[in-house]
């Protein structure tokens, strides 16, 4: 072969990693493990992932990463959060949900400004990248500023403007969500996508939801909504809407004809589960938040059995209190074993699948992220196996869920770009973000 024929180079070649990934073709999301494998990345996408050596056409790479002693995983997907709430981390804990919201969170949120949200979201993006999260779904306000943080940090996100019909600025909020879709959908090399963010059925009456559906239809995007988080919310819905649960109500108005990402789904009936499965609704399960606020235990094993697309979310950092999705995967496995009095429930492989491909499915993005397979976006994380808690190496999938830590993540590649290498964030002044976030949070508390 002449030099000219070899000139085509792939962008990145990751060599020697133990590749662990769910497979989107398998109905049961079986985890595959390839020892000392190779991943080739070109044009932001995975072009090869499998045994070494890779086919000859991939040998010539602009950049090579020696990943021997490292595990390669698809990046974690945080399917539900409110990124800028990092500013309120530790501000109000150990309170009853409605008191926590009405006395602490809502009053202080009324003082938030655009720069607060930018630095809160920057802090969140940095924390997530360090924990191996490569995609998140967000619902908050000042979403232009969250979008700027996503653009500036290199992470991938689906953003929605939180809409509360009962608030006096609800029409303006809806307009802002429309503007968010128009300004940001597909931006940052396609890393940013958008949704509409009706907060919940109890804050958004049907006539308002109809307006949101109209706008979502017009912009061809989905919706991110909180559903059936608390028992009280379900009881109120049944009392007000002829016995219908929030999920039955949403189904009756045609909401589920759209691509829907539903956070929580804690208090759901067998009939609700049937609807979620039949309509392909994505569910973001937030075990940490649900436990901390004592909302209840979502029947996740039953949802998975019924074929519901279940991913994992951290929820906002003021109800968790971190954005560590690996911790959520472990909590999900532990919580449902305990709740079902059955240690075989949510085995390690299933927890890992929920943290990656499950989240991608819940967000309607499994055609492009969630597994390490040719054709998918190159969202890849590398974990260091050379840690005491990773020995002996009987079962690495088990180690990831039951023993690994977020701080084991050394390298993060998103959209084929290296955003963290050997523990160092590229292109971000991390210390400056930490300093500004602290400053903004302190000033905010002083105003409340």
> Residues interacting with Ni ion, by CB under 5 A?
315
E-strand spans in 182-315? 192-198, 223-227, 260-264, 282-285, 309-312
E-strand spans in 313-367? none
Nearest to 368 by CA among 58, 36, 46: 46
**Nearest approach, Cβ of residue 82 and Ni ion (Å):** 6
Rounded Cα distance between 172 and 179, Å, is 10
Q: Which residues have a Cβ under 8 Å from the Cβ of 288 and sit 6 or more positions away? A: 314, 315, 320, 327, 328, 331
Cβ proximity of 325 and 356 under 8 Å: no
Nearest to 298 by CA among 325, 324, 276: 276
**Nearest approach, Cβ of residue 314 and Ni ion (Å):** 9
Nearest to 227 by CA among 195, 192, 251: 251
Tokens 């396609």, residue located: 190
Dihedral pair phi/psi, residue 289, rounded to 5°: -65, -45
- Looking at beta carbons, which residue is closest to Ni ion? 315
Nearest to 68 by CA among 386, 287, 359, 413: 386
**Nearest approach, Cβ of residue 286 and Ni ion (Å):** 7
By beta-carbon proximity to Ni ion, the closer residue of 38 and 286 is: 286
**Nearest approach, Cβ of residue 398 and Ni ion (Å):** 30
SS3 (DSSP) at 44 = coil
**Nearest approach, Cβ of residue 57 and Ni ion (Å):** 45
By beta-carbon proximity to Ni ion, the closer residue of 33 and 101 is: 101
Rounded Cα distance between 48 and 46, Å, is 6
**Nearest approach, Cβ of residue 276 and Ni ion (Å):** 18
By beta-carbon proximity to Ni ion, the closer residue of 285 and 436 is: 285
Alpha helix stretches (DSSP H) within 70-205 = 97-99, 106-109, 114-130, 143-153, 170-184
By beta-carbon proximity to Ni ion, the closer residue of 138 and 145 is: 138
By beta-carbon proximity to Ni ion, the closer residue of 29 and 229 is: 229
By beta-carbon proximity to Ni ion, the closer residue of 165 and 413 is: 165
Tell me the two tokens of residue 284: 């973001």
CB atoms closer than 10 angstroms to residue 8: 10
Tell me the two tokens of residue 64: 């090579």
**Nearest approach, Cβ of residue 197 and Ni ion (Å):** 10
**Nearest approach, Cβ of residue 357 and Ni ion (Å):** 22
By beta-carbon proximity to Ni ion, the closer residue of 116 and 315 is: 315
By beta-carbon proximity to Ni ion, the closer residue of 315 and 366 is: 315
């Amino acid at each position: 072969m002449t030099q000219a024929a070899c000139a085509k180079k792939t962008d990145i070649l990751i060599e020697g990693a133990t590749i662990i990934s769910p497979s989107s073709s398998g109905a049961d999301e079986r985890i595959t493990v390839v020892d000392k494998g190779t991943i080739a990345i070109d044009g932001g996408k995975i072009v090869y992932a499998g045994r070494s050596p890779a086919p000859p056409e991939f040998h010539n790479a602009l950049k090579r990463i020696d990943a021997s002693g490292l595990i390669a995983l698809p990046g974690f997907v945080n399917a539900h959060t409110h990124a800028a709430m990092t500013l309120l981390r530790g501000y109000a804990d150990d309170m009853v949900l409605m008191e926590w919201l009405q006395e602490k969170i809502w009053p202080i949120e009324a003082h938030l400004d655009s720069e607060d949200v930018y630095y809160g979201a920057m802090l969140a993006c940095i924390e997530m990248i360090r924990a191996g999260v490569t995609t998140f779904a967000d619902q908050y306000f000042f979403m232009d500023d969250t979008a700027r943080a996503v653009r500036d940090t290199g992470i991938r996100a689906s953003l929605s403007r939180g809409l509360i019909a009962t608030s006096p600025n609800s029409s303006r909020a809806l307009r802002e969500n429309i503007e968010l879709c128009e300004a940001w959908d597909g931006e940052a090399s396609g890393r940013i996508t958008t949704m509409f963010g009706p907060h919940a059925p109890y804050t958004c009456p049907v006539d308002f939801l109809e307006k949101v559906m109209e706008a979502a239809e017009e912009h061809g995007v989905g919706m991110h909504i909180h559903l059936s988080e608390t028992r009280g919310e379900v009881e109120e819905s049944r009392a007000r809407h002829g016995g219908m649960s929030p999920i039955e109500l949403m189904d009756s108005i045609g909401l589920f004809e759209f691509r829907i990402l539903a956070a929580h789904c804690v208090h759901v009936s067998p009939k609700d589960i049937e609807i979620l499965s039949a309509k392909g609704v994505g569910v973001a399960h937030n075990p940490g938040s649900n436990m901390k606020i004592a909302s209840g235990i979502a029947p996740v094993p039953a949802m998975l059995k019924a074929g519901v697309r279940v991913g994992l979310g951290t929820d906002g950092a003021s109800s968790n209190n971190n954005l560590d999705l690996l911790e959520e995967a472990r909590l999900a496995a532990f919580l449902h074993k305990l709740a079902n009095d059955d240690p075989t429930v949510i085995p390690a492989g299933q927890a890992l699948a929920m943290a990656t491909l499950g989240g991608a499915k819940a967000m309607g993005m499994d055609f492009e992220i969630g597994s390490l397979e040719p054709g998918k976006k190159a969202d890849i994380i590398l974990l260091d196996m050379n840690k005491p808690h990773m020995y002996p190496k009987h079962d690495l999938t088990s180690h990831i869920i039951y023993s690994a830590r977020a701080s084991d993540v050394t390298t993060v590649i998103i959209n084929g770009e290296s955003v963290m290498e050997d523990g160092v964030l590229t292109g971000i002044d991390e210390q400056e973000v930490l300093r500004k976030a602290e400053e903004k949070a302190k000033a905010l508390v002083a105003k409340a």
